[in-house]
């Protein structure tokens, strides 16, 4: 129960606040000394906020386009991070109010911004954002109470500004400073902020205990996390308190998040949710990885997507003077894919916040390097981009030309699903609520081969239309090289020279066709292609041109690029002992060798034998290396062997959860990417006169292997030729792209045999 003295204090405070407002004073515009308010340590400066004026009637730049937050009003809040000075722009205010119903302080609530020196609080910028949220009816997502960057460095220093040493006394001091800071900040805004990023980026998946080594950790261990959450909960018990971090779709990172949070929750630490930052790019992460991460982390509490943006680059080094239109279109489709996941998982997601309103203000223009980056829904003039339409009305997006690599192969045209068609994934077409179809293509010098399967009989299907534009001219009219072939029932129209076979059974229908090419085909050739398939009485579904204008217009066809066939090898059934010695069971195994130089033209090489059983994939590796070196700091630049596994053989351009890279150097030190993890592999190494041996077992966790099954498979040898810490050569078995660490589409194939 509140005491009489405290009630009187609050009444007097309210009178002073109202008097100040009547006189037009700005009560929190200057720093406040916390020592003057010892009786109210939770609210330095009182609870009153600075007074600002906003034009909430400011028109948005495009008032007639749908509101983002209203579009998703039944699913989750839609927020934006911003700086206070953006509220001085009517255009930005109009954009913010029209499209967002939650806001996050990009920097104004970080410790160094609010309490730059001990006891001196600078509230104005944070007040401005909260006051705007009050006036406009927006939610506020608090960011952040604890971070190793933009921290208030005085918390880690003595009275003379020297770094504190890790002692019990200093630990107590630092935790008390943290507690006082959180009580002040959370207490001031407890009526306004519904969610707090209590701790930010505290996880490091490379550490055995999963904890990032920061000054916080060095001085307090994990107690700073406990103190932060407990203090925030005591101060604002109604707020949702979350742990916020990046790269949450990385399997090892999310496993660490899960482990750490579970342990802390078991100790009674009030962690109530997870913030997935979601700084995505034009290529990663895969939608499947996002979905799986949401489902996994929801076991810890509610999910908030906290810092969403989508870089137009796939890496940290590329630059554009002007971002190509096709990249901005691809960005629109990427946003579409992500929001489809968010919608499916909306029962778990409370908010989706973009890390910025528009491309005129984004941290990605200076991080990780200075370059033009346009990662948000609205452009630099605050106009809606393809990214916006991708999440609001994808049908408004221009048709994107899909480019697909097609391996060489010559199937037998007999209507049978031979193993060649099992080596690549099927492209799917949804014909109706109950009927789906899939197709694949292959090529050789003389023909393009098409295989279509559908879970329906030929009688339940309409036409299957195949379209070719051999010179890939992409014209708005047909040229002499363009061709339209129709299969329906057992018949074929415009089929001069075409050989085809159709078979049907309980599982549905399968069509195989060999279509002669006008000129001899070769690797790297590209042709225009599209296909339409219809269920009986339904409109057709198209692979690329959803406007269905293929009959007279080739400009919206997709593109097939001819590549060489992937290598295929067989793993024989058997179970070796993993000890670095070649057991007798290896005598029956097939041996493959590295042959594709992706860095350098000579250097260390390797031979690999494989076996399998119901639980593991085994490999016995002999590496020839004249000088063994691990001088490089980066493990991939050390003398090492890498093996890649794509268990579902999906051949994707980004890693899915089943994909993994395992790296072992000659001293048996291991590192991983993707779904690979320490607990999934057993290894032994042995140095020889000519190099080193690696023997390993990788656990299957996404498939149940059986005879005849195919998986994606690749291996490579890394070499520091002269021991100077720089990788001089990389040689692979099959993949020529040097992208296997993030792209499984060019891996070779491994088939299980007995």
pLDDT-flagged residues of the chain (< 50): 1-46
Is 158 noted as a catalytic residue in this protein? no
Predicted structure pTM score: 0.84
Q: Tell me 186's DSSP state.
A: H
Residue 536 burial by Cβ neighbours in a 10 Å radius (0-12, 13-18, 19+): middle
User: Quick one: tokens of 129?
Assistant: 């954002």
> Which among 21, 10, 18 has a CA at the least distance from the CA of 43?
10
Question: Considering 307, 553, 592, 639, which one is annotated as catalytic?
Answer: 307
Half-sphere exposure at residue 596, Cβ-oriented, CA atoms within 13 angstroms:
20
* Ramachandran area for residue 615 (φ above 0: left; ψ -120 to 50: alpha; else beta): alpha
What is the rounded CA–CA span in Å between residue 220 and residue 155? 12
CB 664 within 8 A of CB 680: no
Q: What is the pLDDT of residue 47?
A: 62
State the DSSP H helix or E strand holding residue 139, giving kind and residue range, or none if neither.
Answer: strand 139-146
**614-660 pLDDT tens trace:** 999 999 999 999 999 999 999 999 999 999 999 999 999 888 889 99
**75-93 pLDDT tens trace:** 999 999 999 999 999 999 9
Pairing label, strands 558-563, 436-443:
unpaired
Q: End-to-end alpha-carbon separation of the chain, Å?
A: 76
Half-sphere exposure at residue 199, Cβ-oriented, CA atoms within 13 angstroms:
30
> Which among 212, 204, 214, 211 has a CA at the least distance from the CA of 150?
214
Q: What is the pLDDT of residue 535?
A: 92
Pairing label, strands 640-646, 710-719:
antiparallel
User: Quick one: tokens of 610?
Assistant: 């494989």
What is the rounded CA–CA span in Å between residue 239 and residue 47? 17
User: Quick one: tokens of 277?
Assistant: 């930052």
State the DSSP H helix or E strand holding residue 297, giving kind and residue range, or none if neither.
Answer: helix 287-297
Q: What is the pLDDT of residue 7?
A: 36
Q: What is the pLDDT of residue 220?
A: 98
Buried b (16+ CB within 10 A) or exposed e, 144-161: bbbbeeebbebbbeeeee
What is the rounded CA–CA span in Å between residue 660 and residue 644? 6
> Which among 694, 730, 731 has a CA at the least distance from the CA of 610?
694
Is 307 noted as a catalytic residue in this protein? yes
CB 310 within 8 A of CB 375: yes
365's CB contacts (< 8 A; 6+ apart) are 371, 372, 373
Question: Considering 83, 106, 201, 512, which one is annotated as catalytic?
Answer: 201
Largest CA distance in the chain: 97
Rg of the chain over Cα atoms, rounded to whole angstroms, equals 30
CB 67 within 8 A of CB 98: yes
What is the rounded CA–CA span in Å between residue 82 and residue 29? 19
> Which among 674, 670, 691, 537 has a CA at the least distance from the CA of 603?
691
Angle at 40 between CA 38 and CA 43, to 5 degrees: 120
Angle at 615 between CA 614 and CA 616, to 5 degrees: 110
DSSP state letters, 626-657: SS----SSSGGGSSEEEEEEETT----SS--T
The pair phi, psi for residue 131, each rounded to 5°, is -60, -40
Question: Considering 245, 309, 530, 659, which one is annotated as catalytic?
Answer: 245
CB 195 within 8 A of CB 141: yes
User: Quick one: tokens of 578?
Assistant: 């993993």
Dihedral of CA atoms 574, 578, 579, 583 in degrees, nearest 10, equals: 0
What is the rounded CA–CA span in Å between residue 2 and residue 42? 15
Q: What is the pLDDT of residue 640?
A: 98
Neighbours of 225 (CB within 10 A): 23
Is 380 noted as a catalytic residue in this protein? no
3-state secondary structure of 185: helix
For the four alpha carbons of 171, 177, 179 and 185, in that order, the dihedral sign comes to negative
């Amino acid at each position: 129960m509140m005491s009489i003295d405290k009630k009187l204090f609050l009444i007097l405070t309210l009178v002073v606040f109202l008097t100040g407002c009547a006189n037009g004073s700005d009560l929190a515009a200057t720093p406040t000394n916390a020592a003057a308010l010892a009786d109210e340590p939770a609210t330095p400066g009182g609870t009153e906020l600075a007074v600002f004026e906003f034009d909430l009637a400011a028109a948005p730049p495009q008032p007639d386009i749908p509101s983002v937050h209203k579009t998703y009003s039944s699913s989750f809040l839609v927020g934006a991070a911003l700086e206070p000075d953006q509220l001085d722009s009517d255009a930005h205010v109009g954009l913010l109010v029209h499209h967002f119903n939650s806001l996050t302080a990009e920097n104004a609530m970080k410790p160094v911004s609010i309490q730059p020196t001990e006891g001196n609080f600078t509230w104005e910028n944070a007040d401005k954002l909260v006051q705007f949220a009050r006036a406009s009816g927006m939610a506020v997502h608090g960011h952040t109470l604890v971070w190793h960057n933009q921290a208030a460095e005085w918390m880690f220093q003595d009275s003379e500004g020297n770094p504190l040493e890790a002692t019990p006394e200093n630990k107590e001091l630092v935790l008390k400073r943290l507690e006082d800071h959180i009580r002040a900040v959370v207490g001031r805004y407890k009526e306004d902020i519904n969610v707090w990023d209590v701790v930010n980026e505290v996880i490091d998946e490379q550490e055995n205990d999963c904890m990032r080594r920061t000054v916080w950790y060095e001085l307090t261990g994990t107690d700073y996390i406990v103190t932060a959450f407990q203090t925030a909960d005591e101060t604002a018990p109604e707020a949702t308190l979350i742990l916020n971090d990046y790269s949450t779709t990385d399997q090892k990172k999310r496993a660490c998040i899960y482990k750490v949070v579970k342990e802390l929750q078991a100790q009674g630490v009030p962690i109530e949710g997870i913030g997935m930052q979601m700084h995505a790019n034009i290529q990663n992460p895969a939608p499947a990885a996002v979905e799986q991460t949401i489902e996994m982390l929801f076991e810890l509490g509610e999910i908030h997507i906290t810092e969403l943006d989508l870089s137009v680059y796939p890496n940290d080094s590329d630059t554009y003077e002007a971002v190509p239109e096709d990249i901005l279109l691809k960005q629109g489709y990427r946003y579409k894919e992500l929001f489809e996941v968010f919608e499916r998982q909306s029962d778990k997601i409370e908010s989706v916040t973009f890390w910025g309103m528009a491309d005129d203000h984004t941290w990605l223009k200076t991080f990780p390097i200075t370059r033009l980056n346009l990662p948000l829904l609205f452009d630099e003039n605050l106009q809606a981009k393809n990214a916006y339409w991708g999440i609001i009305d994808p049908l408004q997006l221009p048709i994107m030309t899909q480019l697909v690599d097609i391996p060489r192969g010559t199937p037998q045209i007999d209507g049978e699903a031979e193993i060649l068609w099992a080596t690549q994934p099927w492209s799917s077409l949804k014909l109706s609520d109950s009927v789906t179809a899939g197709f694949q293509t292959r090529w050789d010098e003389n023909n393009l081969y098409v295989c279509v399967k559908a879970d329906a009989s030929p009688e339940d299907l309409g036409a299957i239309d195949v379209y070719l534009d051999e010179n890939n001219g992409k014209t708005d009219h047909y040229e002499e090289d363009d061709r339209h072939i129709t299969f329906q029932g057992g018949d074929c129209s415009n089929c001069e020279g075409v050989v085809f076979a159709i078979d049907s059974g309980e599982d549905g229908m399968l069509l195989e066709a060999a279509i002669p090419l006008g000129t001899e085909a070769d690797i790297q050739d590209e042709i225009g292609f599209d296909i339409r398939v219809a269920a009986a009485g339904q409109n057709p579904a198209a692979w690329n041109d959803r406007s269905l204008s293929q009959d007279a217009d080739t400009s919206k066809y997709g593109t097939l690029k001819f590549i060489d066939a992937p290598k295929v090898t067989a793993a024989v059934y058997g179970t070796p002992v993993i000890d670095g010695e070649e057991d007798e069971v290896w005598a029956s195994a097939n041996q493959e060798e590295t042959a594709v130089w992706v860095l350098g033209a000579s250097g260390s090489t390797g031979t690999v034998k494989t076996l399998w059983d119901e639980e593991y994939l085994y490999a016995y590796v002999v590496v020839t290396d004249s000088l063994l070196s691990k001088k490089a700091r980066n493990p991939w630049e050390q003398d090492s062997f890498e093996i890649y596994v794509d268990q579902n053989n999906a051949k994707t351009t980004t890693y899915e959860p089943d994909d993994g890279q395992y790296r072992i150097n000659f001293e048996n030190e291991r590192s991983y990417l993707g779904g690979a993890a320490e607990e999934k592999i057993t290894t032994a190494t042995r140095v020889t006169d000519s190099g080193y041996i690696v023997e390993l077992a990788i656990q299957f966790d996404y498939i149940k292997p059986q005879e005849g099954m195919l998986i994606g498979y690749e291996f490579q040898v890394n070499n520091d030729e002269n021991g100077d810490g720089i990788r001089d050569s990389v040689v692979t078995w099959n993949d020529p792209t040097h992208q296997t660490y993030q792209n499984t589409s060019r891996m070779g194939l491994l088939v299980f045999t007995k």
